[in-house]
């Protein structure tokens, strides 16, 4: 018996595959449906799986040589067929081998069927676990959806799936029941939730940081703010490089900032010269910031050019700038397209142009990328905050307005 497993999106698709492979005489032994992919059983696609079989035609069975012949097979073969003794002897000796192979095939099919059943039970167990998790999620949602914290985050713009996930983590992380007096509990949890968020740190002799993002997000001004902080407040040697040669205004703007702060500045016209430039004019700098051309997230050619300024061996960190005053869906598109550049952190800009900060949680839940800075105006160097857990908590829960 020939047994095979087939999958498809519908039972009709699977039956078509079975008939095409095994023919119209095939029979369905088992069938089942399950969800493939998704989260906790949601958003996945339904897959139909069947186990089909075909009864193979039995081979003709030949009687062995008459038992009344008492001489050895070798002698009989030589006498009857003196010209081809080996072939006849081979056919006689292979008969029991064929039976063994057939027996082995049956054992293999039985094992395959047993494995299929075990796999099905495993899938059913996973599905049950998913249902249990969904039940827990639903229970948590029902428990907290009318509380102050749930309503507050919902009105802040946290999307429902991200909100339920955050509440679930909060429920586990806080270690005790929540109520409307949630401030201290939330603040304690936020320190853990945003623990990986932090500004740029000088943890080596020289650090090179590249800033990427869509056009108009505020890269040049943001770089000037961070450069001024390290050069003036921290007395560090900072260098500025711009690769944004498409906009003359961007070059002039960064040149002006470098003159005011009194730090070295250079224009990089080719990514191939970046390493020699850094090891030349900027060899004594503690920090080197690279301003890259703004790129539309829809333009794959422009995004491809950025890789030379993000995947270069001399680059230590890549920060992706995203404006918080745009639609969440557009923000997701930007992050997903720029993810190809492998950013280390996200830097959020234009927080002064919105009153909803729920995307802090949406981004963290969907992409698990830490934040580095938050900007909220054009003034250099004042309008910027490090994205530390305390600041993020204030934006989300402390009615913090800039």
Rounded mean pLDDT, 160-164: 91
d(CA 334, CA 402): 25
Query: Same domain for 146 and 123?
Result: no
Give ∠ CA 149-150-154 in degrees, rounded to 5.
115
Whether residues 222 and 285 share a domain: the answer is: yes
Question: What is the DSSP code string of 48-74?
Answer: EEEEEEE-PPPPPPPPPSPTT--S-HH
Share of the chain above pLDDT 70, in %: 73
Residue 83 lies in a domain: no
Q: Among 74-83, 186-195, 226-235, which range has the highest average pLDDT?
A: 226-235
β-strand partners of 317:
209
Let me know if residue 297 belongs to a domain. yes
Rounded Cα distance between 232 and 219, Å, is 20
Which range has the top average pLDDT, 9-13, 88-92, 120-124, 388-392?
388-392
pLDDT reading at 18 higher than 60: yes
- The CA-to-CA distance between both ends of the chain, in Å, stands at 74
Shared domain check, 160 and 119: no
Q: What does each C-alpha distance from 311 to 13, 32, 279, 343 come to in angstroms?
A: 44, 46, 17, 10
Helix 160-174 vs helix 359-367: crossing angle, to nearest 10: 80
- pLDDT score recorded for residue 293: 80
**Backbone φ/ψ region at 114: left (φ over 0), alpha (ψ -120 to 50), beta:** alpha
| One domain for residues 151 and 123 | no
Q: Is 154 within the bounds of a domain?
A: yes
**Can you read off the two tokens belonging to residue 31?**
């069938």
Task: Name the least confident of 187-191, 222-226, 297-301, 382-386.
Answer: 297-301
* Same structural domain, 219 and 360: yes
Q: What is the pLDDT of residue 46?
A: 79
Distance between CA atoms of 62 and 37, rounded to whole angstroms?
A: 53
Query: Where residue 267 sits, what CATH number does that domain have?
Result: 3.40.50.300
Domain count, the chain: 3
**Coil, strand or helix at 314:** coil
Angle at 172 between CA 167 and CA 177, to 5 degrees: 80
* Omega of the bond leading into 197 within 30 degrees of 0 (cis): no
Indicate if the pLDDT at residue 40 is higher than 70: no
Lowest mean pLDDT among 65-74, 237-246, 324-333, 392-401: 65-74
Which candidate, 274, 279, 275, 239, places its Cα nearest to that of 257?
239
The boundaries of the domain holding residue 180 are 136-193
One domain, residues 285 and 384: yes
* Burial tier of 294 (Cβ tally within 10 Å: 0-12, 13-18, 19+): buried
- Place 400 in a pLDDT band, splitting at 50, 70 and 90: very low
| Burial of 396 from C-beta contacts in 10 A (0-12 / 13-18 / 19+) | buried
Does the residue 312 lie in any domain? yes
Cβ atoms of 325 and 350 closer than 8 Å: yes
64 located within any domain: no
Domain match, 156 and 116 both = no
pLDDT in tens, 364-382: 999 999 999 999 988 888 8
Is there a single domain that holds both residue 274 and residue 188? no
Best mean pLDDT range from 3-17, 136-150, 221-235: 221-235
Q: Which of 193, 221, 237 lies at the terminal end of a domain, its last residue?
A: 193
Q: Do 330 and 391 sit in the same domain of this protein?
A: yes
Apex CA 390: angle with CA 389 and CA 391, to 5°?
Answer: 95
**Higher pLDDT among residues 19 and 42, named by residue:** 19
pLDDT at site 70: 47
SS3 345: strand
Are residues 256 and 381 both part of a single domain?
Answer: yes
The larger pLDDT score, comparing residue 259 to residue 295, is at 259
Q: Which residues of 55-93 are buried (b: 16+ CB within 10 A; e: fewer)?
A: eeeeeeeeeeeeeeeeeeeeebbeeeeeeebeebbeeee
Q: Are residues 224 and 161 in the same domain?
A: no
Does 71 map to a domain?
A: no
State the Cα–Cα distance between residues 2 and 105, nearest whole angstrom. Answer: 9
The reply to whether 66 falls in a domain is no
Residue 148 lies in a domain: yes
User: How high does pLDDT run on average in the chain?
Assistant: 79
* Shared domain check, 334 and 186: no
* Residues in a beta bridge with 3: 53
pLDDT bucket at 152, cuts 50 / 70 / 90: confident
Question: What does the pLDDT look like over 195-241, one tens digit per residue?
Answer: 999 999 998 788 999 999 998 899 999 999 999 999 999 999 999 99
* pTM, 2 dp: 0.64
């Amino acid at each position: 018996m020939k047994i095979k497993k087939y999958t498809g999106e519908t039972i009709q698709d699977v039956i078509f595959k079975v008939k095409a492979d095994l023919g119209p005489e095939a029979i369905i032994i088992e069938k089942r449906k399950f969800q493939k992919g998704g989260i906790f059983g949601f958003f996945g696609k339904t897959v139909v799986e069947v186990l089909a079989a075909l009864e193979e035609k039995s081979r003709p069975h030949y009687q062995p040589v008459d038992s009344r012949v008492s001489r050895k097979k070798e002698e009989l073969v030589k006498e009857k067929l003196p010209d081809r003794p080996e072939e006849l002897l081979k056919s006689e000796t292979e008969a029991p081998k064929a039976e063994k192979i057939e027996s082995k095939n049956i054992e293999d099919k039985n094992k395959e069927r047993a494995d299929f059943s075990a796999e099905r039970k495993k899938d059913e167990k996973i599905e049950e676990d998913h249902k249990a998790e969904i039940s827990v999620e639903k229970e948590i949602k029902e428990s907290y959806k009318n509380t102050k914290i749930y309503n507050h985050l919902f009105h802040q713009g946290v999307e429902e799936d991200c909100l339920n996930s955050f509440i679930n983590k909060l429920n586990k992380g806080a270690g005790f029941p929540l109520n409307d007096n949630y401030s201290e509990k939330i603040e304690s949890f936020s320190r853990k939730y945003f623990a990986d968020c932090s500004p740029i740190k000088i943890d080596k002799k020289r650090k090179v940081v590249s800033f990427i993002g869509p056009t108009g997000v505020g890269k040049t001004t943001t770089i000037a703010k961070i450069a001024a902080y390290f050069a003036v407040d921290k007395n560090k040697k900072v260098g500025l490089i711009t690769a944004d040669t498409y906009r003359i205004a961007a070059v002039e703007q960064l040149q002006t900032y470098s003159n005011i702060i009194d730090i070295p500045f250079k224009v990089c016209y080719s990514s191939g010269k970046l390493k020699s430039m850094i090891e030349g004019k900027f060899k004594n700098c503690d920090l080197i910031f690279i301003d890259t051309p703004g790129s539309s997230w829809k333009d794959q050619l422009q995004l491809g050019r950025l890789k030379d300024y993000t995947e270069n061996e001399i680059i230590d960190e890549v920060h992706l700038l995203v404006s918080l005053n745009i639609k969440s869906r557009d923000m997701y598109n930007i992050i997903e397209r720029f993810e190809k550049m492998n950013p280390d952190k996200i830097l959020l800009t234009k927080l002064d142009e919105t009153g909803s900060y729920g995307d802090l949680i949406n981004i963290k839940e969907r992409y698990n990328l830490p934040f580095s800075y938050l900007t909220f105006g054009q003034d250099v160097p004042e309008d910027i905050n490090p994205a530390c857990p305390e600041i993020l908590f204030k934006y989300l829960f402390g009615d913090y307005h800039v």
